Amino acid sequence: MAFLTSFFSNAQNTIIVVLSTLLLGMGVAGFIYYKITDHNLAVLNQNQTKLQTGFDLQTKTITALQQQAAQQASMLTDLQNQQQLAEAEVKTTTTKINKLPINSVSKTDNKAASDLANAASISAFNDLRTVSAKQ
Residue 100, phi-psi category: left (phi > 0), alpha (psi -120 to 50), beta (remainder)? beta
Q: How far is CA 90 from the centre of its chain?
A: 39
Report if residue 110 sits inside a domain.
no
Is 78 within the bounds of a domain? yes
Q: Flag whether 121 is in a domain.
A: no
Q: What is the pLDDT of residue 93?
A: 78
Q: What is the mean pLDDT of residues 20-37?
A: 95
Q: List, in order, residues 6 or more apart from 54 with CB less than 8 Å away.
A: none
Q: Quick one: pLDDT band at residue 16, thresholds 50, 70, 90? A: confident
Dihedral angle computed from the Cα positions of residues 29, 35, 38 and 39, in that order, rounded to the nearest 10 degrees: -120
Domain membership flag for residue 18: yes
pLDDT in tens, 72-122: 999 999 999 989 988 888 888 788 777 766 655 555 666 766 777 777 778
Domain presence at residue 93: yes
Structural domain including 58 reads 2-99
- The whole-number pLDDT of residue 60 equals 96
Of residues 90 and 65, more confidence is placed in 65
Looking at the chain, the whole-number percentage of residues with pLDDT higher than 70 is 80
Mean pLDDT of the chain: 83
Domains identified in the chain, total number: 1
Q: Is the pLDDT of residue 135 over 60?
A: no
| Cα Dmax for the chain | 146
Identify whether 115 is part of a domain: no
**pLDDT band of 22, cuts 50, 70, 90:** very high
Does the residue 106 lie in any domain?
no
